Chains A and B, each alone.
Chain A
Amino acid sequence: MLMIRQAWRNIFRNIRRTVLTCTLIASSLIVIILVDTLINSMTGLMVKGITETIEGEAQIYHSGFRDQYDPELYISDPKSIISKLDSDDEIKTYASRVIVPSMIGSSYNSDGVVLYGVDAEKESNTSRLQSAIIEGDYLSGSDRELLLGRLIAEKLEVGIGDRIVITSSEINTNQMIQELFRVSGIVQFGPKELDEGFAFINLSTAQRIFNIGEGVHQIAIRFNNPELANSPDLDIYKTLPSDTLEVKGWLALQPGLGAMLEMTGLSTLIMGTILFILASLGVVNSIFMSIYERTYELAVSKAIGTRPSGIASLVLLEGLFLALISCFFGIIITFILGIFLQESGLSLGVMEFSGVAFPDNIPVKLTLDQYVNFPFYVVLLTLVAAIYPAIFAARIVPAQAVQKAL
């Protein structure tokens, strides 16, 4: 107890130095928590941008379909899969789709698009299609409806009600087909690739014109708990896959995204390490200064019988207190900033990154484990930083130190 009191009082002997050191440690803590939060929010948005826009959190498709988007690889009888999905508690919604690359033409222009046949009701719960409508109406189920991305609509110079001709080939026979549609709605997702390359019609219409019966190319899935989307323990991953059927979560579907998430995680780690090394140097320096200033006092302590380990413990204890004080204030400040940011979001201007458009206010959310983990590392690293000065102090030779000082 006396040693704890001694250590505590020692760090207030030079208040200015303690304030500076603690400011250094606390700022590192605040910066790293905020950076981590920002990166988490951005990657979270990025993942949501991809999974919630169209792709879903998991997909079921005929083996090999995703390699080339070959329309011949469709699930010809999805009924049993659908009934499984309906009875699975983990699954919130799903949407079946027919996906066929097609030519799209207006009176003015023509271009290639990926034509989606979607189930209007299920799709509206699974993807952003309905909310992406900026003009006209969502699909109602009637045969000649077509939703068009904003950029392709501009290119084709068409508006609501204008005629569109889809040219493609029947899937099994490869016979050429041509169908007439009217633009019923214009959609805008944000990312350029989506807005210039996609067109949507009703699922039943697509199944009829491509002549695939009940067949679908893809079933996109959203889970009740999106965090679990990539967990191999999920029922659908364990029971559904077969020779002809693949079932994959978004991480497997988007390997690039996974790699990017790893990269951002790594960069937080690197940045955190650099920051903490710099802070640690500050800590080492400040503890050394305090030791130099009381060499005589430490020498007397040793002379009267304090063991080297006792001296080292005292110095480590002082390092611990510095870290705890820093974390205390660092956490309070981060908490206040967190409340502020949670309300206002972080404004970085309009950005698009990896095909995901960020809102210009990024919602920021701090989690409990950030308040626990990072301070824990800070305390740990401060103690590590204090080891060297502690050993140095423990090795002070009393006779020399006492003589030098007088």
Chain B
Amino acid sequence: MSMVIEIENLTRKYGKGIGEVVAINEISLNIEYGEFTAIIGPSGSGKSTLLNLIGGLDKSDSGSVLLAGRDIAKMSGSQMSDFRRDRIGFIFQAYNLIPVLSAEENIEYIMLLQGIPSVKRKERVQEMLFLVGLEGLGHRRPSELSGGQQQRVAVARAMASKPEIILADEPTANLDSKTGMALLDMMRQLNEDQGVTFVFSTHDEMIMKRARRLIHLRDGLVALDERNSNATP
């Protein structure tokens, strides 16, 4: 199996001297194409820091992250922008969408950055809306959508650019558990049907049961890396 992410001896520290916090402590791990992986751990364990490092939003102090075989530390600012645009999908905890743009425009936005022609963009927008179950709601502004619907649009946007991997930092944290569960089920459906690789973080027990691989973080270290063979469907 080929690796979408190869992490080696990755370390990220905040602060200096007595106040120094080692958020990620010499972590090494790989993620394969097509995985549906959860990074779990209590608040402050380093989940966001790890996802930011993988996505090239943050720079490590030592160690390396290879994304689709390329070392992200060696890229310039705008190279990194383009890399993120084409290879990585991001979903944050909340407020993922540009408020002045409609759901459709938000999805279109990233394809516009990619320079995809208009007709193709519009087609794909509708396709994405259908996949996340929001057909017919594309013209709505984010403020006219529920929290769960907003996160679905964020998923649609993340997928629209056909990235190698989608990184989701606690995507369900701002949703009630039923909505969160539905979002996760949808993500897993996309993973199974479309082959989209997901890595998401959570500290919710119910949510983590949906994952097929669980990476337990504790104080910046991988405490446990397990296959969840009885992942709930």
Q: Which A residues contact B (CB, under 8 angstroms)?
A: 2, 5-6, 9-10, 13, 296-297, 300-310, 398-399, 402-403, 405-406
Give me the 9 closest cross-chain CB pairs, A-B, nearest first: A305-B85, A9-B100, A399-B57, A399-B58, A307-B81, A305-B84, A399-B52, A398-B57, A307-B78
**Contact: B93 with A406, CB < 8 Å?**
yes
**Contact: B100 with A303, CB < 8 Å?**
no
The answer for the CA separation of A248 and B218 in the assembled complex, in Å, is 93
Is residue B161 within 8 Å, beta carbon to beta carbon, of the partner chain?
yes
**Contact: B108 with A300, CB < 8 Å?**
no
The answer for the CA separation of A303 and B163 in the assembled complex, in Å, is 14
Q: Would you give the 0/1 interface string for B216-231, flagging 1 where the beta carbon is closer than 8 Å to chain A?
A: 0000000000000000
A310 touches which of B88, B92, B113 (Cβ 8 Å): B113
**Contact: A297 with B99, CB < 8 Å?**
yes
A304 touches which of B52, B77, B90, B100 (Cβ 8 Å): B90
**Contact: A304 with B95, CB < 8 Å?**
no
A–B complex contacts, Cβ < 8 Å, 12 sampled: A297-B98, A300-B98, A303-B57, A303-B90, A304-B84, A304-B157, A305-B113, A305-B161, A307-B81, A308-B81, A309-B78, A398-B57
Write the chain A residue with the least CB distance to B174.
A406
Report the minimal beta-carbon distance from B11 to chain A, rounded to whole angstroms. Answer: 16
Report the minimal beta-carbon distance from B191 to chain A, rounded to whole angstroms. Answer: 20
Chain B residues near A398: list those with CB within 8 A.
57
B98 touches which of A6, A308, A402 (Cβ 8 Å): A6
The answer for the CA separation of A406 and B93 in the assembled complex, in Å, is 8
- Whether A305 contacts B100 in the complex (CB less than 8 A), given A2-B105, A5-B105, A398-B57, comes out as no
Chain B residues near A296: list those with CB within 8 A.
95
**Contact: A307 with B105, CB < 8 Å?**
no
Chain B residues near A306: list those with CB within 8 A.
81, 85, 113
Q: Which residues in chain B, 48-91, are within 8 Å of chain A measured between CB atoms?
A: 48, 52, 55, 57-58, 77-78, 81-86, 88-90
The answer for the CA separation of A302 and B113 in the assembled complex, in Å, is 11
- Whether A300 contacts B90 in the complex (CB less than 8 A), given A6-B100, A305-B84, A306-B81, comes out as yes
Q: Would you give the 0/1 interface string for B162-188, flagging 1 where the beta carbon is closer than 8 Å to chain A?
A: 000000000000000000000000000
**Contact: B81 with A13, CB < 8 Å?**
no
Write the chain B residue with the least CB distance to A8.
B100
Chain A residues near B84: list those with CB within 8 A.
303-305
The answer for the CA separation of A402 and B52 in the assembled complex, in Å, is 10
Chain B residues near A402: list those with CB within 8 A.
57, 92
Write the chain B residue with the least CB distance to A402.
B92
The answer for the CA separation of A190 and B112 in the assembled complex, in Å, is 71
The answer for the CA separation of A307 and B113 in the assembled complex, in Å, is 9
Is residue B109 within 8 Å, beta carbon to beta carbon, of the partner chain?
yes
Chain A residues near B95: list those with CB within 8 A.
296-297, 300, 405
Write the chain A residue with the least CB distance to B113.
A305
B77 touches which of A297, A300, A308 (Cβ 8 Å): A308
**Contact: A2 with B112, CB < 8 Å?**
yes
Is residue B101 within 8 Å, beta carbon to beta carbon, of the partner chain?
yes
Report the minimal beta-carbon distance from A239 to chain B, rounded to whole angstroms. Answer: 66
The answer for the CA separation of A9 and B95 in the assembled complex, in Å, is 18
**Contact: B101 with A2, CB < 8 Å?**
yes
Report the minimal beta-carbon distance from A275 to chain B, rounded to whole angstroms. Answer: 32
**Contact: A2 with B108, CB < 8 Å?**
yes
Report the minimal beta-carbon distance from B120 to chain A, rounded to whole angstroms. Answer: 15
Is residue B7 within 8 Å, beta carbon to beta carbon, of the partner chain?
no
A406 touches which of B58, B81, B94 (Cβ 8 Å): B94
Is residue B126 within 8 Å, beta carbon to beta carbon, of the partner chain?
no
Write the chain A residue with the least CB distance to B53.
A399
Chain A residues near B90: list those with CB within 8 A.
300, 303-304
Is residue B215 within 8 Å, beta carbon to beta carbon, of the partner chain?
no
**Contact: B57 with A301, CB < 8 Å?**
no
Chain B residues near A302: list those with CB within 8 A.
81
Report the minimal beta-carbon distance from A143 to chain B, rounded to whole angstroms. Answer: 88
Is residue B110 within 8 Å, beta carbon to beta carbon, of the partner chain?
yes
**Contact: A305 with B81, CB < 8 Å?**
yes
The answer for the CA separation of A47 and B198 in the assembled complex, in Å, is 79
Q: Which of B81, B93, B108 has the most CB of A within 10 A?
A: B81
The answer for the CA separation of A374 and B161 in the assembled complex, in Å, is 45
The answer for the CA separation of A310 and B85 in the assembled complex, in Å, is 13
